[in-house]
Amino acid sequence: MNRIRQLFAQELWSPYLAGGLLGVVGLLAVGLSNHLLGASGGFENLAGILGKAVAPASFNNVYFNYVMPAEITWNVILLVGIFFGGMLAALTAGTLRWRSMPDKQWTEVFGSSRAKRWGIAFLGGAVLQYAAGIAGGCTSGLAISGGMLLAPAAFLFIAGMFASGILTAWVIYRARY
Amino acid sequence: MGNLWIALVLGVVFGFLLNKAGLTHYYKIVNVFRLTDMAVLKFMMSGLAVAMVGLYAMRGLGWIEFPAIPATYIVGNLVGGLIFGVGMALAGYCPGTCVAGAGEGRLDYLIPGILGFIAGAAAFGLTYESVFPQISRLAAYGNVTLGQLWNVNSWLLVTVFALMSLILFYLIDHGLIRKDPMAVTK
């Protein structure tokens, strides 16, 4: 019991342990709900809900009516869970605190401008989500959930993601790569 | 709907694990692409190996049926991955880790990050009909698995993947990793 308490209080777990348990979560999603874990799907539903509230005519299309309907789906609830799961984990390790900038490595490379960080955070999010749409899912919904079913799509996605991720990091870091 | 409670609980565990694996940190995501910290790869591959073995075993025992297999359309899967990698190396998160990071109090994830995802989702949904049908028809194979496509036993593929992961983990943990030129300043 004490060892479990210690484990929960630890800030970083072995990625093998955390990853293995994630595999169990992926299994349970299929076993209990016949669903695949996936974070980007929920954002499509949320965008539909917000879009229909703001500009109902533009968002009244095939995509937001049928493909990714503008409603609270399994994936939206999953996102809510992920948020509180992150919070709970930070609480157990005592690392929960409001902050507006990421870790030191960011500042060393991009400087301490908050506008720059927030701009890139927004742009990065938009690019990630659009790319996930084209690919058919993101790191969780396609790479992990598709990969565990042995879908070729997942391995193509992972190959593309690492190829361009490595190139992008190399361009950003140059001498410090 | 009972199903939504399952989504909530699984989401909590998912976000919890992302945090504990350290993937809600900018440096953990970027450094996998700098090949100096392989936590992301270890996390993904252990998850995949465990889930693969479990899923194929459970299906073999007749306990479950597979949900729809994510569709393979080579150009779109690959191009999507290529664009995705750029965003991930720039922002230092992906959709799941951004939401989990928002939960631990990271305002850059919570505000511009999540707004960015919503904006990207709106843009995709609004351009869907002129973009997606075309790209998803290129080199399309449908909802197949590798086993079906190559006509080989899935257990062979699962075993190969698990062995490959173990060998890669061994190599990473025994020196096959780049030294971080920034480590001195950390």
Judge: B50–A67 Cβ closer than 8 Å, yes or no: no
Of the residues A72, A75, A83, the best mutation for testing chain B's interface (the one with the most B CB atoms within 10 Å of its CB) is A83
- ipTM (interface pTM): 0.96
pLDDT digits (tens, 9 = 90+) for B60-78: 999 999 999 999 999 999 9
Choose among B88, B116, B99: nearest CA to B14.
B99
Which pLDDT value is given to residue B2? 59
Judge: B120–A126 Cβ closer than 8 Å, yes or no: yes
Contact (Cβ atoms closer than 8 angstroms) between residue A101 and residue A107? yes
> Residue B33, Cβ neighbours under 10 Å: how many?
26
What would the two tokens of residue B25 be? 């940190």
State how far residue A154 is from chain B, nearest Cα, in angstroms. Answer: 8
Which pLDDT value is given to residue A112? 95
Residue B142: strand pairing partners: B72
Residue B72: strand pairing partners: B142
DSSP state of B186: -
pTM: 0.95
Helix B2-20 × helix A15-33 angle, to 10°: 170
Per-residue pLDDT, averaged over B92-104, amounts to 98
Which pLDDT value is given to residue B180? 81
**Res A125 pLDDT > 90:** yes
Residues of A in contact with B74 (CB under 8 A): 152, 156
**Res B177 pLDDT > 80:** no
